[in-house]
């Protein structure tokens, strides 16, 4: 089916006459496809730039030929795993490959796709095709065309109308998905010798001349293990919120589907403010319509119910801490407190930025005795979506080091994609913490893909590798 916004995009290509003929072949027999063909046919006649031919039943969904067929542009859709196989057949053609969320490919170039927290996504392929047509007719280079097409596809994937303002807003968000092939294939991992530190960006190594001016840390899963299992609690509560009184009587296939979609919500929203996660959950609640409208709560109220359960769990662990059953090491990632103390002793300003409620973050760090380590400040969520604590702290750090600072003067540590993505936007070095929160050390492989896609420069499982990290980044000379 041809997305109507793809029609709009191609119909607004600019009204200049082109010297060379353009042949556009479309697959599809739907009414939208026929309308698209008729509209574009009239547009071509008006511009006197070529003919339109039917390609129904052919393998290739879109085919554009310019310069009397001497230069050919082919488009394929697929996954990042099928890109390499398609790329082998690019001998005589300019081939654009569309890999859904993972963006577009042309020869060895990748235009990263855009991250979206929505689990229900539009079909970006027609918009990608429109973008290629736009680039070809406007005589952009192949690389420029690739980025235009990927941007237009990203707008549709994010469930937005394909308009100039929406495309511009998405481009400015810079919420990209990086290194998709590496993220999906652990066999391609490259480690600092004799360590578990994975190098994603080689340019991050040996760039510094001493310790960083600023270090920014996430809390849960990066420093603290106090809320370990939060995702299991959230999953259970979201299913209950959506199913309501019908939970016990749902058919097994429907319950399976609901659990699958809730898992996707949590995967796509990990690291954002909790109320945003509940807003995404609320979309599913409306979709399934199990709960009568007059009995539905607001996303903020659902957030409060979940947050209170987490506070109750945390209170039990605090009680065990006070009684000496648990100590600080039991409630933090291996080596985290010693590492932050070491950074402070070497003149680094340390910030804490968390999507957890501000009052809970400050209560925890004070109760466990390490709040004073954060001489830059402690920032948690205050329920203001316009002032996300992580983006706020990035701005503070940027102001502190100045606009002419060099890469590596600010380092961001986090186990969630939000802080890593914000670091990428700000031009800061990022270390993704692929932490196993239950045992406090070692690698959680589930975190690897999302942190690479978010743009991590390095990955480290815990802070027992901090000395190797300091040497690799040039902070210390061994």
CA distance 251 to 242: 15
Radius of gyration of the chain (CA): 25
- C-alpha dihedral sign at 206, 211, 213, 216: positive
The distance from CA 151 to its chain's CA centroid, rounded to whole angstroms, is 15
| Same domain (yes/no): 159, 204 | no
pLDDT in tens, 167-219: 888 888 778 899 988 998 899 999 999 999 999 999 888 666 789 999 999 99
CA distance 83 to 392: 38
Q: Of residues 50 and 158, which shows the higher confidence score?
A: 158
Range of the domain at 314: 230-322
Tell me whether residue 42 is in a domain: yes
What's the CATH code of the domain at 406? 3.40.50.1000
Tell me whether residue 478 is in a domain: no
- 87 has pLDDT over 70: no
| Same domain (yes/no): 21, 108 | yes
- 66 has pLDDT over 50: no
Domain count, the chain: 3
| Same domain (yes/no): 39, 120 | yes
381-401: average pLDDT = 88
| Same domain (yes/no): 51, 78 | yes
Q: How far is CA 66 from CA 28, 49, 105, 204, 468, in A?
A: 22, 10, 20, 42, 54
User: Hey, is 362 helix, strand or coil?
Assistant: helix
Tokens of 79: 């996954």
| Same domain (yes/no): 317, 461 | no
Task: Centre a 10 Å sphere on the Cβ of residue 184 and count the other Cβ atoms it contains.
Answer: 16
Burial class (CB within 10 angstroms; exposed 0-12, middle 13-18, buried 19+) of 292: exposed
| Same domain (yes/no): 278, 382 | no
Tell me whether residue 76 is in a domain: yes
Q: Mean pLDDT score of the chain, rounded to an integer?
A: 80
| Same domain (yes/no): 199, 348 | yes
Beta bridge partners of 377: 351
- 10 has pLDDT over 70: no
Tell me whether residue 418 is in a domain: yes
- 77 has pLDDT over 90: no
> Which of 424, 80, 453, 437 shows the shortest CA–CA distance to 223?
437
Q: How far is CA 213 from CA 66, 337, 343, 476, in A?
A: 53, 18, 9, 14
Give residue 415's pLDDT: 94
Phi, psi of 262 (to 5 degrees): -65, -40
| Same domain (yes/no): 28, 152 | yes
CA distance 448 to 325: 32
Longest dimension (CA), the chain: 84
pLDDT in tens, 323-362: 999 999 999 999 999 999 999 999 999 999 998 889 999 9
Tell me whether residue 477 is in a domain: no
| Same domain (yes/no): 294, 152 | no
Most trustworthy range by pLDDT among 13-22, 268-277, 407-416: 407-416
């Amino acid at each position: 089916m041809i997305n109507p916004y793809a029609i709009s995009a191609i119909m607004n290509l600019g009204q200049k006459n082109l010297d060379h003929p353009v042949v556009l072949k479309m697959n599809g027999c739907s009414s939208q496809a026929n309308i698209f063909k008729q509209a574009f046919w009239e547009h071509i006649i008006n511009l006197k730039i070529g003919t339109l031919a039917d390609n129904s039943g052919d393998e290739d969904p879109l085919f554009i030929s310019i310069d009397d067929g001497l230069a050919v542009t082919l488009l394929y859709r697929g996954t990042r795993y099928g890109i390499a196989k398609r790329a082998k057949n690019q001998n005589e053609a300019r081939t654009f490959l569309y890999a859904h969320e993972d963006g577009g490919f042309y020869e060895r170039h990748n235009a990263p796709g855009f991250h979206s927290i929505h689990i229900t996504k539009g079909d970006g392929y027609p918009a990608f095709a429109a973008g290629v047509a736009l680039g070809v007719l406007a005589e952009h280079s192949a690389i420029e065309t690739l980025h235009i097409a990927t941007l237009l596809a990203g707008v549709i994937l994010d469930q937005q109308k394909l308009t100039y303002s929406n495309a511009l807003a998405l481009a400015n968000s810079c919420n990209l998905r990086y290194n998709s092939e590496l993220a999906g294939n652990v066999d391609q991992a490259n480690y600092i010798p004799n360590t578990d530190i994975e190098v994603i960006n080689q340019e991050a190594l040996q760039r510094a001349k001493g310790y960083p001016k600023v270090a920014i840390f996430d809390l849960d899963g990066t420093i603290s293990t106090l809320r370990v299992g939060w995702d299991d609690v959230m999953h259970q509560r979201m299913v209950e919120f959506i199913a309501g009184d019908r939970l016990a009587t749902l058919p097994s296939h429907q319950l399976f589907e609901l659990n699958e979609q809730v898992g996707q919500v949590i995967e796509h929203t990990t690291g954002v403010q909790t109320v945003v996660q509940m807003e995404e959950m609320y979309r599913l609640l409306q979709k399934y319509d199990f709960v009568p409208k007059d009995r539905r709560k607001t996303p903020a109220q659902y957030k409060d119910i979940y947050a209170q359960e987490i506070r109750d769990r945390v209170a039990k662990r605090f009680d065990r801490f006070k009684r000496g059953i648990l100590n600080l090491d039991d409630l933090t990632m291996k080596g985290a407190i010693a590492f932050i103390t070491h950074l402070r002793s070497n003149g680094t300003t340390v910030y804490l930025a968390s999507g957890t409620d501000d009052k809970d973050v400050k209560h925890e760090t004070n109760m466990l005795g390490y709040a004073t380590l954060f001489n830059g400040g402690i920032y948690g969520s205050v329920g203001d979506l316009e002032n996300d604590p992580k983006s706020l702290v990035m701005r503070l750090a940027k102001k502190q080091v100045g606009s002419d600072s060099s890469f590596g003067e600010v380092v961001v540590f986090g186990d969630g994609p939000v802080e890593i993505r914000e670091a990428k936007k700000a031009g800061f070095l990022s270390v993704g913490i692929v932490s196993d929160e239950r045992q406090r050390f070692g690698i959680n492989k589930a975190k690897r893909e999302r942190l690479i896609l978010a743009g991590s420069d390095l990955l480290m499982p815990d802070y027992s590798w901090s000395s190797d990290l300091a040497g690799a980044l040039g902070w210390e000379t061994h």
